[in-house]
Structure 1
């Protein structure tokens, strides 16, 4: 029996993190779809996100997940950091939940880890393990 045919398996929830972020931010900025879409331009490539795509996203219709250029365009329109949109898009479209909790500093470290060679990451993890308190000693 395939996992998707398993009657005991919980149904997957419809994820809306990205749509909710865009809709909420547009309301916070007190902007209609048209002015928001007009500002949805990637400052690097000039790629635009259309009003229709934003409408479909916000109304729960099926959309093609945005590429990084489109995320930068929406970040510009929403006046939010690109990373905020990347986390929400990853959660909604790919089921990847962002790093939750921790300080902003810890999140910044995690984002930089992929730029460190694997051998150095292993050594760094060993160092962190030697410095961190065991779970049972945390306050």
Structure 2
């Protein structure tokens, strides 16, 4: 039996990053839920994400966290970069925010980055930039 990831409400507020991204992007593309479902098909032509799951996601009802194949199918269907869906899913299901370096080559996963002060965010950005510019061993 599959269970949902439970969040400790004392430490994590509910997040709807993936739900909102999917709903907003579907509206931009002017797709029905059925059309979105049909765009998530696998190589055999079967939908990777069913209509009911998409509906629950968009209406902020409990859903099982999406796995990589589902996020990839959704990224293709919504014509968005996979990383954007991955970041939104991490935020919604795990309370983790992605912080990127200026060039986009380095990323840190940080719990509740919104609670950081501007100075702490700047320090994090400098740390990422430092990793980017340091020589990499092979």
TM-score scaled by structure 1?
0.65
> Which structure: greater helix fraction?
1
**Count of aligned residue pairs for this structure pair:** 106
Aligned residue for 1:98, secondary structure, equals strand
| Cα displacement (A) at 1:14 | 1.2
Q: Is the 8 A contact 2:37 2:47 kept in 1?
A: no
Equivalent position of 1:90 in the other structure: 90
| Runs of 5+ consecutive residues of structure 1 not aligned to the other structure | 112-123, 129-139
Of residues 109, 116, 124, the one that matches 2:106 is 109
How far, CA to CA, are the matches of 2:75 and 2:60 in structure 1?
20
Q: Distance in 1 between matches of 2:77 and 2:25?
A: 9
Structure (1 or 2) with the greater strand fraction: 2
Segments of structure 2 that go 5 or more residues without pairing to the other structure are 1-7, 109-129
Measured on the aligned residues, the alpha-carbon RMSD in Å equals: 3.0
Matched residue SS, 2:13:
coil
Q: CA deviation at 1:40?
A: 1.2
How big is the shift at 1:82?
0.5
Structure 1 distance, partners of 2:42, 2:86, is: 14
Kept in 2, the 8 Å contact 1:41–1:72? The answer is: no
Aligned-pair CA distance for 1:110: 3.4
Shift of 1:11: 6.2
Q: Contact 1:41–1:76 (CA<8 Å) still a contact in 2?
A: no
Between the aligned partners of 1:26 and 1:34, the Cα distance in structure 2 is 11
Cα distance, 1:13–1:40 mapped onto 2, change above 3 Å? same
